[in-house]
Structure 1
Amino acid sequence: MMDRVESLVVRAVKTQQGEGIDVYAFFLYGSDLSRVADISRIRRDENELKGFQRKEIRAHVKEIVEFLDSGGPVLFPNAITLALSLDVEFEPSRGPKPKGLIELANTGTLSIPVREEGDRAAWIVDGQQRSLALAQAKNSRIPVPVVGFVSRDVQLHREQFILVNKVKPLDPRLINELLPEVGTLLPRDLAANKLPSELCNLLNRQQKSPFLRLIKRPSDLEGTAAVVTDTAIVDAIKQNLKPPMGALSPYKRGGEDSEPDAMFNALVLYWTAVRELFPEAWGRPSTESRLMHSAGIRVMGALMDPIMLRADSSATPEVDVRESLRRLAPYCCWTEGVWEELGWRWNEVQGTPQHIAKLADYLIRKDRELSRPSR
Structure 2
Amino acid sequence: MTGGPSIKRRALRIEQHPEIPLYVFTLAADEVYVVADVARIARDEANRLLGYQRPEKKQHVQQILEYLDGESVLFPNGLIMALPSSVKFKASPGPRSNDSLATSGTLEIPMPASPDEPRPALIVDGQQRSSALAQTRRKRLPVIVAGFVTEDLTVQREQFLRVNTVSPLPTNLVSELLPEVGVALPSKYSAKQLPARLVEMLNTDRDSPFLGMIRRASTPADQKQAVVADNSLVTALGESLNSPSGILFLYRNLSTNTIDSATIRTLVITYWTAVRDTFPEAWGLPPTKSRLMHGVGIKSMGRLMDRVMANVNLKGDDPHGQAMRELSLIKTQCRWTRGRWAELNLDWKDLQNTPRHISTLANYLMREYARARSDAS
The TM-score with structure 2 as length reference comes to 0.94
Checking the alignment, whether the CA contact within 8 Å between 1:36 and 1:113 is kept in structure 2 is: no
Question: C-alpha distance in 1, partners of 2:285/2:68?
Answer: 46
> SS at the partner of 2:191?
helix
Superposition pairs for residues 168-317 of structure 1, below 5 Å? 168-224=167-223, 225-254=225-254, 257-312=258-313, 315-316=316-317, 317=319
Question: C-alpha distance in 2, partners of 1:202/1:4?
Answer: 42
CA displacement, residues 35-60 of structure 1 (integer Å, 9 cap, x when unaligned): 11111111011211011111111111
Find out whether 1:51 has 2:20 as its counterpart.
no
Question: Which residue is equivalent to 2:64?
Answer: 64
Question: C-alpha distance in 2, partners of 1:5/1:174?
Answer: 35
Superposition pairs for residues 89-100 of structure 1, below 5 Å? 89-97=88-96
> SS at the partner of 1:6?
strand
Question: In percent, how many aligned pairs have the same letter?
Answer: 43
| RMSD across aligned positions (CA) | 1.7
From 334, 342, 355, the counterpart of 1:332: 334
Checking the alignment, whether the CA contact within 8 Å between 2:273 and 2:320 is kept in structure 1 is: no
Residue 4 and residue 341 in structure 1: after superposition, are their counterparts in 2 closer, same or farther (change >3 A)? closer
Ranges in structure 1 where 5+ consecutive residues have no aligned partner: none
Q: CA deviation at 1:95?
A: 2.8
Find out whether 1:141 has 2:140 as its counterpart.
yes
CA displacement, residues 205-237 of structure 1 (integer Å, 9 cap, x when unaligned): 111100011100001112002000000000000
Residue 249 and residue 43 in structure 1: after superposition, are their counterparts in 2 closer, same or farther (change >3 A)? same
Question: Which residue is equivalent to 2:27?
Answer: 28
Checking the alignment, whether the CA contact within 8 Å between 1:38 and 1:124 is kept in structure 2 is: yes
CA displacement, residues 67-122 of structure 1 (integer Å, 9 cap, x when unaligned): 1112x211110110010001111111113529xx7311110111112223652221
More displaced, 323-332 or 16-25?
A: 16-25
User: Which AA in structure 2 matches 1:307?
Assistant: V
Q: CA deviation at 1:20?
A: 2.3
Question: C-alpha distance in 2, partners of 1:19/1:44?
Answer: 33
CA displacement, residues 135-156 of structure 1 (integer Å, 9 cap, x when unaligned): 0111111111000011111100
Question: C-alpha distance in 2, partners of 1:277/1:288?
Answer: 17
Checking the alignment, whether the CA contact within 8 Å between 1:30 and 1:135 is kept in structure 2 is: yes
Q: CA deviation at 1:355?
A: 0.4
Question: C-alpha distance in 1, partners of 2:242/2:3?
Answer: 60
From 361, 364, 372, the counterpart of 2:363: 361
Question: C-alpha distance in 1, partners of 2:237/2:204?
Answer: 16
User: Which AA in structure 2 matches 1:94?
Assistant: P
Checking the alignment, whether the CA contact within 8 Å between 2:3 and 2:110 is kept in structure 1 is: no
Q: CA deviation at 1:262?
A: 1.5
Question: C-alpha distance in 1, partners of 2:133/2:27?
Answer: 11
Question: C-alpha distance in 2, partners of 1:8/1:231?
Answer: 42
User: Which AA in structure 1 matches 2:312?
Assistant: A
Ranges in structure 2 where 5+ consecutive residues have no aligned partner: none
User: Which AA in structure 1 matches 2:235?
Assistant: D
Checking the alignment, whether the CA contact within 8 Å between 1:245 and 1:306 is kept in structure 2 is: no
Q: Which runs of 4+ in 1 moved over 3 A?
A: 312-317
CA displacement, residues 300-349 of structure 1 (integer Å, 9 cap, x when unaligned): 00100011112249944433311111121100000011102111001000
CA displacement, residues 174-200 of structure 1 (integer Å, 9 cap, x when unaligned): 111111111111112211111100100
Q: CA deviation at 1:170?
A: 1.7
Checking the alignment, whether the CA contact within 8 Å between 2:3 and 2:111 is kept in structure 1 is: no
More displaced, 236-245 or 300-309?
A: 236-245
User: Which AA in structure 1 matches 2:359?
Assistant: A
> SS at the partner of 1:56?
coil
> SS at the partner of 1:41?
coil
Residue 96 and residue 299 in structure 1: after superposition, are their counterparts in 2 closer, same or farther (change >3 A)? closer
User: Which AA in structure 2 matches 1:104?
Assistant: L
User: Which AA in structure 2 matches 1:343?
Assistant: N
> SS at the partner of 1:372?
helix
More displaced, 240-249 or 134-143?
A: 240-249
Question: Which residue is equivalent to 1:103?
Answer: 100
Checking the alignment, whether the CA contact within 8 Å between 1:88 and 1:121 is kept in structure 2 is: no
Q: CA deviation at 1:163?
A: 0.3
Question: C-alpha distance in 2, partners of 1:373/1:242?
Answer: 31
Question: C-alpha distance in 2, partners of 1:242/1:323?
Answer: 27
> SS at the partner of 2:12?
strand
More displaced, 109-118 or 174-183?
A: 109-118
User: Which AA in structure 2 matches 1:197?
Assistant: A
User: Which AA in structure 2 matches 1:139?
Assistant: R
